Chain A
């Protein structure tokens, strides 16, 4: 099981908002695939999958604010 956490994005960026899920629970993903689009004030960025497998859990919905280091999803 691999946890997907919100990565470090810069010195003054502590959190980001979930703007778009590219995947749903049960979807098969390959390492490097875009999982979720996140947004800060003026930037969006995609969090890539750290591993290949299936999406077991999605821990946040579009519109939720997530802190750096928090778990976004779990891949199995």
Chain B
């Protein structure tokens, strides 16, 4: 009997726990390499990073408001990387999801992929009774005027994706005061904990986020948006 697409799993999940940014980046590259050579299926890495600022090649260093000494004193790394977007912060209490998936199984459209990633977070936030939304012209997920809860920055190699989306769960928000997040002035970072005024369980959040990923991407795979 032919296997229907419904029976196929959407992606394997790899949980890296709390990781160094570079260590997780190397895992991404290794999985990307294996996915491109077809020896593994679509895979989603989920992790929290140790404190790090990452900036894209086209990002503006002016959006880092602290000096390199200040960030070094606080034990934060600054790394230039090959994703889209500008500058962002990652640290414990923030979930970062790196889907390494072949878009040829979905739709060859990089911006639609970004919209679908945002949809994953919007679906995930509903569990907490938080209503997330998109802002035209500004990627990521917002919960109020200039209030941002999730950031996106992706890369694609031969239609296979890497990098991804980060969602603030319990992350201390003072770190974001050291940058202009995503290069957008007036943008303020919020978290699930800051909105609910209580901490959220990070392990439960992890499994809910991956559930939302599978749900949204299953719908996309089985019923692509009509063009």
Contact with B along A26-52 (1 / 0, CB 8 A): 000000001001011111111010000
Name the residue on A nearest B81 (C-beta): A44
Contact with A along B101-117 (1 / 0, CB 8 A): 00000001111111000
- CB pair A19–B111 under 8 Å, yes or no, is no
Q: A39-B56, A44-B83 are in contact. Are A13 and B111 (CB under 8 A)?
A: yes
Q: A10-B112, A11-B109 are in contact. Are A43 and B84 (CB under 8 A)?
A: yes
- CB pair A19–B114 under 8 Å, yes or no, is no
Q: Number of contact residues on B: which range applies?
A: 20 to 34
Could you say which residues of chain B place their CB within 8 Å of the CB of A34? 157
- CB of B29 closer than 8 Å to a CB of A: no
A11-B112, A45-B155 given; 8 more Cβ-contact pairs under 8 Å = A9-B108, A13-B109, A42-B85, A42-B139, A43-B155, A44-B155, A46-B158, A63-B58
Could you say which residues of chain B place their CB within 8 Å of the CB of A8? 108
- CB pair A40–B58 under 8 Å, yes or no, is no
List which A45-62 residues lie within 8 A (CB) of chain B.
45-46, 48
Contact of A9 among B58, B85, B109 (CB under 8 A): B109
- CB pair A46–B157 under 8 Å, yes or no, is yes
Name the residue on B nearest A37 (C-beta): B82
Main secondary structure on B side of the interface with A: mixed
- CB of B152 closer than 8 Å to a CB of A: yes
Contact of A10 among B56, B83, B109, B152 (CB under 8 A): B109
Complex: A42 Cα to B83 Cα, angstroms: 8
- CB of B156 closer than 8 Å to a CB of A: yes
Q: Which residues of A contact B (CB under 8 A)?
A: 8-13, 17, 19-20, 34, 37, 39-46, 48, 63
- CB pair B109–A48 under 8 Å, yes or no, is no
Complex: A9 Cα to B155 Cα, angstroms: 12
Contact of A44 among B56, B113, B158 (CB under 8 A): B56
User: Closest CB of chain A to B198's CB: distance in Å?
Assistant: 31
Name the residue on A nearest B83 (C-beta): A44
Contact of A39 among B58, B109, B113, B157 (CB under 8 A): B58
Could you say which residues of chain A place their CB within 8 Å of the CB of B154? 42-44
Could you say which residues of chain B place their CB within 8 Å of the CB of A19? 56-58
Complex: A20 Cα to B59 Cα, angstroms: 13
Could you say which residues of chain B place their CB within 8 Å of the CB of A46? 156-158
Q: A8-B108, A11-B227 are in contact. Are A45 and B156 (CB under 8 A)?
A: yes
- CB pair A44–B156 under 8 Å, yes or no, is yes
- CB pair B112–A44 under 8 Å, yes or no, is no
